[in-house]
Amino acid sequence: MTLPIFATTTAAAAGAATAPVTAALLKRASAPVPMALNAVLAALGVAAVTAGEVAGAWPGWWLPVPVLLTVVAVPLALADLRHRRLPDVLTLPAYPLFGAAVGAAALGGGGPSPAVRAAAGAVLFGGAHALVRLATPGSLGAGDVKLSGSLGAVLGAAGWAALAAAAVLAALFTLAIAAVRRGSGRVPHGPALLTATWLCAIFPGAP
């Protein structure tokens, strides 16, 4: 019992430790977020991810993917909710970060399948969002499209069904946000995309 608690607590502390870095990057990009809230949410997210791995919800080699996703998703979601922006300072580094996480998972025991699906997922999910923006420019921001490719890599690695599940969940979450923030202008889609991807990553169908 002591070991799982220690692992989860240590992971939470590590998640919180990323907040000063991501908050500083967002401040430099003129999209500041509350560092304390960033730290608390990152800690809780990483702790939940680690608890899932300790409980055997999925193989240990998958752990790098949801951990890195968590520490990137939390500050980005906060920035989009506060500023309706998904700054390049985090959306663009997400590609090599998530790619490295999927690569580590593949080398750690997942084999080549997650990496292959990740590459395909990035193209499919990112391409679908790019087409939506092209057809209806007001429906998605450029940041949403940039973000969707890296999230597609995570979703592809999690399993083919995760791509469709995340798209449906993100749409539902955005509708929920719109209902809560009625009359406040354009509703950011990034937080819904990030939350849907995180849920699919911690309940992967076929990692």
DSSP secondary structure letters along 93-129:
THHHHHHHHHHHHIIIII-HHHHHHHHHHHHHHHHHH
Please count the structural domains in the chain. Answer: 1
Q: Is residue 179 part of a domain?
A: yes
Residue 153 lies in a domain: yes
% pLDDT > 70, the chain: 96
The more confident residue out of 1 and 128 is: 128
Helix, strand counts (H, E) of the chain: 10, 0
Q: Is 2 helix (H, G, I), strand (E, B) or coil?
A: helix
Task: Considering only residues 164 and 54, tell me which one the structure prediction assigns the higher pLDDT.
Answer: 164
pLDDT above 70 (res 185)? no
Residue 117 lies in a domain: yes
Tell me, yes or no, whether 25 lies in a domain: no
Q: In angstroms, rounded to a whole number, what is the distance separating the alpha carbons of residues 25 and 23?
A: 5
Label residue 123 exposed, middle or buried (CB < 10 Å: 0-12, 13-18, 19+). middle
Which residues lie below 8 Å from residue 153, measured CB to CB, with a gap of 6+? Answer: 95, 98, 99, 102, 118, 119, 121, 122
Average pLDDT over residues 110-121: 94
**CB 87 within 8 Å of CB 79:** yes
- For 56-74, write each residue's pLDDT tens digit: 888 999 999 999 999 999 9
Does residue 198 belong to any structural domain of this protein? yes
Contact 140, 129 (CB under 8 A): yes
What mean pLDDT comes out for the span 76-97? Answer: 96
Please give the average per-residue pLDDT across 156-164, as a whole number: 95
Distance, CA of 143 to CA of 25 (rounded, Å): 16
**What's this model's pTM, rounded to 2 decimal places?**
0.93
The yes-or-no verdict on residue 1 having pLDDT over 50 is no
Domain assignment present for residue 8? The answer is no
Domain hosting 94: range is 61-202
Our measurement of the distance from residue 58's CA atom to the centroid of its chain's CA atoms, rounded to an integer in Å, reads 18
Classify residue 149: in a domain, yes or no: yes
- Report how far residue 75's alpha carbon sits from residue 30's, in angstroms, rounded to the nearest whole number: 13
